[in-house]
Amino acid sequence: MISGIQIQLMFLSASTYYIFSIFLEFFEYVEEALEDISEWNDNDTSEKARRLRISMLNSEFIICLFVLNKVFALSLVLSKVLQ
């Protein structure tokens, strides 16, 4: 019998994997949007967008993103097997 904690972990694993997958799928569009926002006249907003874009393009962030996506993909498979 599956406990409530196991169900929560399976849901967390699946939802986290899909969130990472969607972010990776739209990564280029998010980066382009942040680039556009960084050119706005609103200094506060444009500066935050510029810093976020720089962080996104950091190689460590990109590598971590792909590694975590792979980890969550494997955990999704594992959780389906354990069902």
Domain ranges of the chain: 4-82
pLDDT, tens only, 30-55: 999 999 999 999 999 999 999 999 99
Q: SS3 string of the chain?
A: CCCHHHHHHHHHHHHHHHHHHHHHHCHHHHHHHHHHHCCCCCHHHHHHHHHHHHHHCCHHHHHHHHHHHHHHHHHHHHHHHHC
Q: Which of 63, 76, 59 lies closest to 17, judged by CA?
A: 76
pTM of the model: 0.71
